[in-house]
Structure 1
Amino acid sequence: MTVYQLDAAMVRDAVTAARPDSPDDEEAVSSAFARAAWSVLCEPGDGVAGDVVAACGADRALSLLLERADPQRWLDAGGGRLDVGAAEVAAGIERWSPRLSARGVVSALTSAARLGARLVLPGDAAWPSGADDLGRHAPLALWVRGRLAALEPPGGSVAVVGSRDSTAYGEHMAIEIAGGLGDRGFSVVSGAAYGIDAAAHRAALAVKRTTVAFVAGGVDRAYPAGHRDLLTRIAAYGAVVAELPCGASPTRWRFLQRNRLIAACSQAVVVVEAGRRSGSLNTAGHAAALGRPLGAVPGPATSALSAGCHRLLREYDAACVTSADEVAELALGRLPTEQPTLLEGMADDPDAVRVLDALSPRSARAADELARRTGLAPRTVAATLGLLALGGRVRESATGWVRA
């Protein structure tokens, strides 16, 4: 007997190794394998993948992809529940097909099991309910290293984020706020980056409270490398969480998509210190779009690293917070309504970001290789390369494309 063209026993062993406490009947194993496969096939936040999995089921959608089914069969399988048309499904098939490798999914599951990581799926007791607020852009699965209970802590959670190039003032405020939140029973959520993120995680660890790090690559990748020990400690007292399987590398696009999980899986988001173009403002934008309470810590008027916080306070109705007590009030208070989103205009075109991430300034890469690395359809890659070339951001050599 085979499952997805693989030996059924191999599939069962791989799934149960990454989900040891979950049902091991044929239907549950097949569904879990399919969810793991979709985390390999598509980039984080792929709305078309979210639609087809919601409408058809993860296992049926994976079968359609393996069968090379035409878009109309996908629409028929969705039974009228798909919110996308044939053209969007066809584009999705082009994106996902270059990564189609059943044995690659088995490898992802066994790698996670060797690390002690677990595959968590929607409907599991450990699944963070806030992630569902992302709708069609919600994660299809999560890979977790650490304590599964940390994903849905009984005391609630608050995201504390900010600049990588933090000042002593910013780190002091992050430590005071995160440590105080831990003392008040909150879990501290952040992104494990240098600067404010690291200060927030360390403060929670110092008071022996739960902290959760959402990372942009696989949970087996220590990024940044200097935080290997910190990530190990986070896994011991909380959890390191990724939307991508083990082995996946962080890229700029994946950092931006990771930010939506930080916002969604928290009761409130606080930006401690951020420049005018800080990635933390992207997290704040997701918080505003999701209706999460948003706070910002004011800084010196002359500090460029507080310019982003001041913008949040001035233009986006963020609450001014200066202590753990004020942040706790923000998290427990009434949710703000109709906050403007910061997502528009905060980053480059997403396709361009992904293509640029996949390019090297030295080694030429062919368009097919870029399609595999980015998860974009080959024709989308070709069109994006043309636009980037017009802008002087990439150039074509005899052997492929390089970043200018």
Structure 2
Amino acid sequence: MPQTGHQYDQQPQAARQTPQAHEGRQITQDRQYQRPRPDLTARLNAWHARLAAANPAADLEAGEKAGARLIIPGSPEWPTQLDQLGPGRPLGLWLHGSADLRFSCLKSVAVVGARAATSYGNHIAAEFGVGLSEAGWTVVSGGAYGVDGAAHRGALAADSPTVAVLACGADVCYPAGHDTLFAAVRDQGVVVSECPPGVHPTRARFLIRNRLIAALSRGTVVVEAALRSGALNTATHALSLNRHLAAVPGPITSGMSAGCHRLLRERKAICVTSPEEMIDLVGVIGDDLARQARAPAVPRDKLNEPTRKVLDAIPTRGGAGPASIAVAAGVSLDAALSALGGLAAAGYIERATNGWRLRKESASYRKAPDSAFLEPPSTPEPAPLDDPPSPEDADPPHEMAPATWEDYR
């Protein structure tokens, strides 16, 4: 059957392009080819100059004097998860501390965030540090001010090892104000660096260091981060390694939480609000499930449905008779009378001049005995002049509930 339609519609897309569109695409391709390429010769010369200044024997001697040790791929202490970095895998790592790096990172979570953290961020970071450590998870962070330091202190407070990944030599204390913290980390955990001893940090080394934090742990949680934060760089590395990424929400008016909110909005991170939820995310399915959060239970929750309706219909001030309460609660008069007796015996309500009202001290709904958990009467409704069903025996706090029809009027 012959094809229908205009001959122009049957032409390939490339053949239908106008001369202007074809010329624009050619210009774009030419610009791509004209992009400046890195000068490999200059880079090789720079590396050759650094290689000439390197002294591996002196680095090993300095590390040994400082108490540090060097591990390389294949060493018993080498974390095999670093192999996922591919070409970006470090050639070696300097370690200074008592903990075994590989064993410590088998179950580990990276806790990162802003240096200029708020009191909220510091509190949450310390809470995550304590909670993760008490559950047997190692906290990995960068040892900086703010969130990093709070996470390390939380882990140390729980008497668990923690891993501090530095952007300087393992023997260099940066920031200087964390000398006591790093000493505690060395005693209880381990300090990690891919820089030889004596190397001081630079901005580029901090960004390069972040890939190690993400690679050493099963997942990363960003506690607090602005839109321009190094913690977001760590989050990017975690995503590139297909590791779990989580973020803690903060006040929407806080700029220090804007980065976390953007990760959540773009669905790059999972919202977590407790260490248990983070363990649920990175842990083993079925073994590390977080407990389902439930609202606090109050004694009133144990009342059956008719009794709760009657209790809701009783006024706080003044008073109301049984008939008015039954109408307001939407139950029969006999069900209202039965519930009133049980509620009075349990101390929820009291007699007033013109009926029933709530007791003032029962605003918090004290625990009711089993006598208040009355089921609605299953027998046919009695005649109006018959005696109502009396509640089960219970000792009221002040006065006995009335038991005769006239007392309810």
Normalising by structure 2, what TM-score? 0.58
Query: How far 1:103 moved relative to its partner?
Result: 6.7
| Structure 1 residue corresponding to 2:103, chosen from 152, 157, 161 | 152
Structure 1's 147 and 101: CA in aligned 2 closer, same or farther, altered over 3 A? farther
The aligned residue for residue 306 of structure 1 is 257
Query: How far 1:130 moved relative to its partner?
Result: 1.6
The answer to whether the aligner puts 1:231 opposite 2:194 as a matched pair is no
Count of aligned residue pairs for this structure pair = 248
Alignment of 1:139-288 (within 5 A): 139-147=90-98, 149-153=100-104, 156-288=107-239
1: CA distance, partners of 2:54 / 2:283: 46
- SS of 1:241's equivalent in the other structure is strand
Alignment of 1:379-390 (within 5 A): none
| Structure 2 residue corresponding to 1:112, chosen from 63, 66, 71 | 63
Q: Is the 8 A contact 2:126 2:151 kept in 1?
A: yes
Alignment deviations for residues 117-157 of structure 1 (CA, whole Å, 9 cap, x no partner): 00001001110112111100110000000135134327510
The answer to whether the aligner puts 1:93 opposite 2:44 as a matched pair is yes
Q: Is the 8 A contact 2:99 2:161 kept in 1?
A: no
- SS of 1:329's equivalent in the other structure is helix
Letter in 1 for 2:259: G
Q: Is the 8 A contact 2:169 2:198 kept in 1?
A: yes
Structure 1's 154 and 196: CA in aligned 2 closer, same or farther, altered over 3 A? closer
Alignment deviations for residues 158-191 of structure 1 (CA, whole Å, 9 cap, x no partner): 0000001111111111111111000010100000
The aligned residue for residue 55 of structure 1 is none
- SS of 2:150's equivalent in the other structure is helix
2: CA distance, partners of 1:180 / 1:330: 14
Structure with greater contact order relative to length (CA < 8 Å, sep ≥ 6): 1
The aligned residue for residue 134 of structure 1 is 85
Q: Is the 8 A contact 1:126 1:148 kept in 2?
A: no
Structure 1's 279 and 146: CA in aligned 2 closer, same or farther, altered over 3 A? same
Query: How far 1:316 moved relative to its partner?
Result: 4.0
Q: Is the 8 A contact 1:127 1:152 kept in 2?
A: no
Seq. identity, % = 51
Q: Is the 8 A contact 1:151 1:239 kept in 2?
A: no
| Bigger fraction of residues in helix | 1
2: CA distance, partners of 1:282 / 1:97: 30
The aligned residue for residue 347 of structure 2 is none
Alpha carbon RMSD of aligned pairs, Å?
1.7
Q: Is the 8 A contact 2:79 2:105 kept in 1?
A: no
- SS of 1:152's equivalent in the other structure is helix
Structure 1's 145 and 161: CA in aligned 2 closer, same or farther, altered over 3 A? same
Alignment deviations for residues 66-115 of structure 1 (CA, whole Å, 9 cap, x no partner): xxxxxxxxxxxxxxxxxxxxx98755532321112477211111000001
Q: Is the 8 A contact 1:155 1:185 kept in 2?
A: no
Alignment deviations for residues 23-65 of structure 1 (CA, whole Å, 9 cap, x no partner): xxxxxxxxxxxxxxxxxxxxxxxxxxxxxxxxxxxxxxxxxxx
- SS of 1:100's equivalent in the other structure is helix
- SS of 1:165's equivalent in the other structure is coil
- SS of 1:250's equivalent in the other structure is coil
The aligned residue for residue 75 of structure 1 is none
Q: Is the 8 A contact 2:79 2:101 kept in 1?
A: no
Query: How far 1:210 moved relative to its partner?
Result: 1.0
- SS of 2:100's equivalent in the other structure is helix
Q: Is the 8 A contact 2:68 2:97 kept in 1?
A: yes
1: CA distance, partners of 2:54 / 2:271: 51
Q: Is the 8 A contact 2:105 2:217 kept in 1?
A: no
1: CA distance, partners of 2:172 / 2:105: 28
Structure 1's 89 and 129: CA in aligned 2 closer, same or farther, altered over 3 A? farther
1: CA distance, partners of 2:99 / 2:215: 17
The answer to whether the aligner puts 1:125 opposite 2:76 as a matched pair is yes
- SS of 2:140's equivalent in the other structure is strand
Structure 1 unpaired stretches of 5+: 1-86, 335-404
Larger Rg: 2
Q: Is the 8 A contact 1:129 1:152 kept in 2?
A: no
Structure 2 unpaired stretches of 5+: 1-37, 286-409
Alignment of 1:282-297 (within 5 A): 282-297=233-248
2: CA distance, partners of 1:316 / 1:322: 16
| Structure 2 residue corresponding to 1:319, chosen from 261, 266, 270 | 270
